[in-house]
Structure 1
Amino acid sequence: MMVVVPPISALKEDECAASEESSFNRTKEHLLQLLLRRLRLRMKTATVVLLLLWSCQAVTVTRSQDLRTTSLGTPHRDPHSSPPQPDIHTVLEEMSTLIIEQAVQLRHTKTQLEALEKKAEGMENRLRASENLIDQLKTVTDVQTVNLGLTLRSVSALRRERDESRVSFSASLLQEGGGYTGPSQVETPLVFRNIIANIGDAYSAKTGVFTAPTRGAYFFIVFASGHGHTSIPTGVTLWKNRELVVSAFARQEHGDMSASNGASLQLEAGDEICVKLWHDARVFDNHSKHTTFSGHLLFAM
């Protein structure tokens, strides 16, 4: 049997070619590793998202195929064959569509949030305005309350002043029956018991004394009635505290007679006015009210 040995030059050429191919393959693998490393560093997150979406799409496609298979009947398939994989371009297109839809929804949601923020801002402004209005109303109410208190005090003062300025009285000597009072050797206070009017209750029918309730100008007048007598006159005197003011006196032997007198006085609150019977004189009174004592406040001072 004859063995053919290739020439040495041919063997060297084959070794060089194999060495060049091995060096090219190593360079290619090194470049691929650098590229993959850069891709991993720059697109790690995007790759993960794409893989997840691709997996979801694969599951969706598989489920859709299962549903179609169920509805159309199960076709004969080789059990050893691998399931069909979805197209990466289709997955990317669906991902792009989904991203666009989400962007549109995001813009719509942002617009709604901006509208809600504007509405909330408007409501906050109205609430703040309402609070300011309430504060103003409270201030006005407080001022009105103070004014009302001042008004009530002023009204009370005016009522007191009115009540104090409403002073007037008139009384006759005898409350019932008729006859003479006196004579007496000394001047005797007369008590006019029959009240005709007593506005302000400044006159006392128990003591016969008028007490001034307020400072002011007053007018008083007294009338005394009697009958003629040879030795007994008819006479009375008007007194302020312990000071004689005026007298009313009459004397005649026969017939009816009367005497009267009056005066305007400036009194302080608490001053007392009374009428006394003239000494050794008498006065007459009955249901006709002949002998009277009257007085009233002209004006307060």
Structure 2
Amino acid sequence: METRLRASERTVEEQRAVIKELKEKQEEQAAAVRAVGGSVNLTGSQVQELRWEIEERKVSFSASLVASGDVNTGPYNAAAPLVYKHIFINIGNAYNPNTGVFTAPVRGVYHFNVFVFGNGHGSRASGVSLHKNGEHIVLAYTDQNTIHMAASNGASLLLEVGDVVNLKLWPNAWVRDTYNHHTTFSGHLLFPM
């Protein structure tokens, strides 16, 4: 009996050690769960912040010279800024329809498109140049003796916050826009950097 009693006592001691070990593991797991719970709250706020940043970084605009009517602009002896007043979309409000200037709100790669329409004339071309911070980048230009003519061009540019992009009518050229919106300027943030 005494042997059985000692065996039972050893079994009870072993079971107490196992129970103690299980309790320690349970406490460690509970602490880990509490830590993860706090981390999830922190991550949740970080996710909200990232969502807000993504919303702030949505930038896209598209505009034509006129909303209605039939208007010829130019020719002028020197390059002249063009103001595209009829807005199709201006997400992020980075394009100013009063000045014709796009100002980059975030550092990133942007893509710009220019479409030009004009009346064909043997001595008058249609042309518009794209400028970044006053520097000439590309030209959409056509010169032909037909009733109507059109040209287009585009470029992707790395812009810093505050960089400006605008269009200028090419010297001695003209462009035409109507209610069909032939002459347009568009820009989009492809991705922030």
Matched residue SS, 1:174: coil
Match of residue 74 from structure 2? 182
Q: How many residues align?
A: 164
- Give the deviation of 1:163 after TM superposition: 1.6
Q: What per-residue deviation string (whole Å, max 9, x for no partner) do you get for residues 99-151 of structure 1? A: xxxxxxxxxxxxxxxxxxxxxxxxxxxxxxxxxx9xx89x94x9846752552
Task: Confirm or deny that 1:148 pairs with 2:41.
Answer: yes
Task: Confirm or deny that 1:202 pairs with 2:101.
Answer: no
Q: What per-residue deviation string (whole Å, max 9, x for no partner) do you get for residues 184-241 of structure 1? A: 1111111111111112221111111111111111111101100111222100000001
CA contact (8 A) 2:67 2:181 kept: no
Match of residue 154 from structure 2? 262
Q: What per-residue deviation string (whole Å, max 9, x for no partner) do you get for residues 23-45 of structure 1? A: xxxxxxxxxxxxxxxxxxxxxxx
- Give the deviation of 1:269 after TM superposition: 1.4
Matched residue SS, 1:155: helix
- Give the deviation of 1:281 after TM superposition: 0.8
Q: What per-residue deviation string (whole Å, max 9, x for no partner) do you get for residues 81-115 of structure 1? A: xxxxxxxxxxxxxxxxxxxxxxxxxxxxxxxxxxx
- Give the deviation of 1:157 after TM superposition: 2.7
Match of residue 49 from structure 1? none
Task: Confirm or deny that 1:253 pairs with 2:152.
Answer: no
Amino acid in the other structure paired with 1:200: G
- Give the deviation of 1:276 after TM superposition: 0.6
CA contact (8 A) 2:83 2:97 kept: yes
Mark the structure with the bigger radius of gyration.
Answer: 1
Change in 2 beyond 3 A, CA 1:284/1:270? same
Alignment of 1:105-184 (within 5 A): 140=34, 144=37, 147-152=40-45, 154-184=46-76
Query: 2: CA distance between counterparts of 1:160 and 1:191?
Result: 31
Match of residue 294 from structure 1? 186
- Give the deviation of 1:158 after TM superposition: 1.1
Query: 2: CA distance between counterparts of 1:186 and 1:218?
Result: 28
Greater strand content: 2
Task: Confirm or deny that 1:273 pairs with 2:172.
Answer: no
User: How high is the sequence identity, in percent, across the aligned residues?
Assistant: 49
What runs of 5+ residues in structure 2 fail to find an aligned partner?
A: 1-26
RMSD over aligned Cα atoms: 2.2
Which of structures 1 and 2 has the larger relative contact order (alpha carbons within 8 angstroms, sep 6+)? Answer: 2
Query: 1: CA distance between counterparts of 2:38 and 2:106?
Result: 31
Matched residue SS, 2:54: helix
Greater helix content: 1
Alignment of 1:26-175 (within 5 A): 140=34, 144=37, 147-152=40-45, 154-175=46-67
Shift >3 Å, 4+ stretches: 142-147
